[in-house]
Amino acid sequence: MPHVARMLTGTSNHRVLLPATALAGGGGALLCAWLSVVCGWGQIIPINAITPIISVPVIVYVIVNRSYRPMLKIEGLTTGYGSRVLLRNVDASLERGELVALIGANGVGKSTLLKVLRGELSPLEGLVDIDGRNIAGMSRMDLARNVSVVNTDRLEVGALSVEDVVGMGRYPYTGFLGRLGREDRAVVAEAMEAVGVEGFACRNVAELSDGERQKVMIARALAQDTPVVLLDEPTAFLDVASRVEVLSLLRKLAKERSKGVLLSLHDVASALALSDRLWLMPGDCSLRCGAPGDFLREHEEKRPGNALDALFAGRKVRFDGHRMDYVGL
């Protein structure tokens, strides 16, 4: 009955699920009574006699639905602040095992969109679903079990070690006291190993290079064990080598762990080379989604209004297909 209630309500909020489950159970009992009367059996059918009949289609529905639905989906989304609209009525999706780069000029609303997707800011219109559930109905802790975030801002961690910082990712699972159990420590160790920082688990994070610190933040997001990972300019303070390492690592983690990874970037060349798909924000309240090859083909064919030309329209730059980047006019 809890699965039936979750399927009908589309939420995991216990304040909704508990009464919905009770109503589903009551409905099952009434169904048994109705069948007994209609069929003329003279006695009430026990509810456990029809539970298997109800369970089979529900289980099939759950399996099929989880296999084909996107990890993150936005529908009819409008974002902005008050009368200032940044995106209007856009649809997009993020699939399992996919790395998507969000690209646009400063001020077009990339960070605002990421805030909406992680539940920090409410959309003006539309909805955001994660794994088939509307985030508007999720509690703060439930949202933390579904979306992890790596921000641009450098986290002030004082004298904390790498292991301590990565362990902070377990906060949705550790309860009120925040103590890490054996399973939590195993997850932390696995996350550090996955990004290659296990060798300095006991080092102070303040002693690390920018590239190493960013890997620690990614390990913390991995330890949070969420299906969706959002990153706001994760390569902002990195040199070229560290930038490529981090993006390659994110692509690998998306594939190996079947996570949906969405990151905002200014590095167009790296995005074209390493992303599965692009979300482009040209600043006209639209969101253009597609594979890098599709956008490059549009540009090469010189289609009017192609996305790569529209991305920085009005600026003194143009996209160079040979360099796979923007150059000055």
Is 62 in the same domain as 45?
yes
Is 7 in the same domain as 55?
yes
Domain boundary among 68, 99, 123: 68
Is 80 in the same domain as 131?
yes
What CATH number has the domain bearing residue 327? 3.40.50.300
Is 38 in the same domain as 90?
no
Q: What is the mean pLDDT of the chain?
A: 85
Looking at residue 21, its pLDDT comes to: 72
Is 62 in the same domain as 19?
yes
Is 107 in the same domain as 132?
yes
Q: Which two tokens stand for residue 269?
A: 């060349």
pTM over 0.85: no
Domain boundary among 43, 68, 93: 68
Is 135 in the same domain as 82?
yes
Is 43 in the same domain as 80?
no
Q: Which two tokens stand for residue 169?
A: 């990712």
> Helix H segments across the chain?
2-9, 14-39, 47-68, 110-117, 140-144, 162-167, 182-195, 210-223, 240-257, 268-274, 292-300, 307-310
Task: Establish if 304 belongs to a structural domain.
Answer: yes
By residue range, what is the domain housing residue 8? 2-68
Secondary element (H or E) of residue 201: none
How far is it, in rounded angstroms, from Cα 223 to Cα 215? Answer: 12
Which among 326, 324, 257, 252 is positioned nearest to 292, based on CA atoms? 324
Q: Which two tokens stand for residue 141?
A: 């802790």
Task: Establish if 195 belongs to a structural domain.
Answer: no
Task: Establish if 204 belongs to a structural domain.
Answer: no
Question: At 33, is the pLDDT very low, low, confident or very high (cuts 50, 70, 90)?
Answer: low
For residue 60, what are the CA distances in angstroms to 12, 164, 299? 19, 41, 44
pLDDT one-digit tens code per residue, 7-30: 555 554 555 567 777 777 677 667
Domain boundary among 35, 53, 68: 68
What total number of domains does the chain contain?
2
Q: Name the amino acid, one letter, at 18.
A: L
Considering only residues 54 and 94, tell me which one the structure prediction assigns the higher pLDDT: 94
pLDDT one-digit tens code per residue, 272-285: 999 999 999 999 99
SS3 75: strand
CA 103 from centroid of its chain's CA atoms: 16
Contact 279, 268 (CB under 8 A): no
Task: Establish if 193 belongs to a structural domain.
Answer: no
Task: Establish if 36 belongs to a structural domain.
Answer: yes
pLDDT one-digit tens code per residue, 193-249: 999 999 999 999 989 988 898 999 999 999 999 999 999 998 887 888 888 888 999
Task: Establish if 56 belongs to a structural domain.
Answer: yes
Task: Establish if 188 belongs to a structural domain.
Answer: no
Is 82 in the same domain as 135?
yes
How far is it, in rounded angstroms, from Cα 188 to Cα 206? Answer: 19
Task: Establish if 73 belongs to a structural domain.
Answer: yes
